[in-house]
Amino acid sequence: MDEPLTPDEDVVFLEFLRLDVEPNGIPVELFAGFLEELAASCTMSLQRARVATQGLIDKGKFDVVEEQKGDRIQN
């Protein structure tokens, strides 16, 4: 059973869906600015948006696909 979202996580998750983006799809150098914009669009503090985003990641709400060297098919 999925762990329920907190109200902040719910708002942030809906904003990620609206923007059609996942945290791991944002370049590291742009992430801080993105998080500030996310917080503003969700009308919450930067800290609350950061905690909610981390909570969503911890609950597995975003697909994480990491390519490993061994995953490639070599001809």
Stated length of the chain: 75
Q: What is the pTM of this model?
A: 0.79
Residue 7, CB half-sphere, CA atoms under 13 Å: how many?
2
Residue 58 pLDDT greater than 90, yes or no: yes
What is d(CA 52, CA 50) in angstroms, rounded to the nearest whole number?
A: 5
Q: Which pLDDT does position 66 carry in this prediction?
A: 53
- Residue ranges per structural domain of the chain: 7-61
Range of lowest pLDDT (2-11, 48-57, 60-69): 60-69
Please answer whether residues 59 and 5 qualify as being in contact, where contact means their C-beta atoms are separated by less than 8 angstroms: yes
